[in-house]
Amino acid sequence: MSELIVYRLQGKRAVVTGGASGIGLGTVERLARSGAAVAMLDLPGNARLESESKRLRAEGLEVIPIPANVGQQASVEEAIGQAVKQLDGLDYLVNNAGTPGTKQPIPVTELDKLTEEFWTKILSVNLLGAFWATRAAAPALRQGDGAVVNTVSDSAFGGGASSLAYACAKTALVRMTQLLAKSLAPDVRVNGIAPGFVNSSWECSFGDIDAIAKERVPLKRVGQPADYADAILFLAVGARYMTGETILINGGSKL
């Protein structure tokens, strides 16, 4: 936890999708250690959902594991409803779940690899899932003067991506963040972060990202989940006069 910024979130309630690893898990930990009750959503059958929630609960933190596939409308809506019921309301929604849909980056010239099935998965998880979750959570968030934070990607602002489809989905998520901010104002703020490299078990491999970061990133390192979690909490808990914004967090790689 940051030594400079301490949040006191006792009585607050949050949902984090994709909460069993990477940025999602870092955010769950940051929220829970700040006193919030957190529902962490991740794929059914993901062993880390149970193991990580069990680890955090053993530390006395209030964490609830809920299986959900955000790429399926019925699944995410049911999970949000379950979370709101168990938490007795909702203050923060973090739409973090995402997938590259590929183990290796797909060059923009290889269009034949972008099949209908691939596009459907990419759009369902990386774009539509955030919409379905936000719509389902909106009534509860309105009651709690709530906030939504979407995990976008710096590929939405140019540069490399796991695929053309992924970059398009994340670019659309930037615009959707703006429009949801208008839709839910003034009761609910909606913002986003656009991460660069992150030290996590991401499905798609970009090679030696530590070496790449030392060469291309001004801060000379890969982002840690805690780096992104700090920004997510700032947008959710603070930033009271910000909505519709997406913040680039990439160590300065776009400079």
Could you list the active site residues? 166
Q: How far apart are CA 252 and CA 218, in angstroms?
A: 6
Decide: 152 and 177 in contact? Cβ < 8 Å: yes
Going through 55-163 in order, the beta strands assigned E by DSSP cover 63-67, 92-95, 147-151
Question: What does each C-alpha distance from 25 to 35, 52, 119, 238, 240 come to in angstroms?
Answer: 15, 8, 26, 20, 24
User: Residue 145 and residue 134: Cα distance in Å, rounded?
Assistant: 14
Residue 17 belongs to what H/E stretch?
Answer: strand 13-17
Q: What is the dihedral of CA 70, 74, 79, 80, to 10 degrees?
A: 90
Query: Could you identify the residue written with the tokens 């034949």?
Result: 112
Torsion sign across C-alpha atoms 245, 246, 250, 253: negative
Question: Per the structure block, which two tokens stand in for 100?
Answer: 């590259």
Check: CB of residue 90 under 8 Å from CB of residue 140.
Answer: yes
Residue carrying the six token digits 């995402």: 98
Quote the CA–CA distance of 200 and 38 in Å, as a whole number.
21
Distance between CA atoms of residues 248 and 66, nearest Å: 29
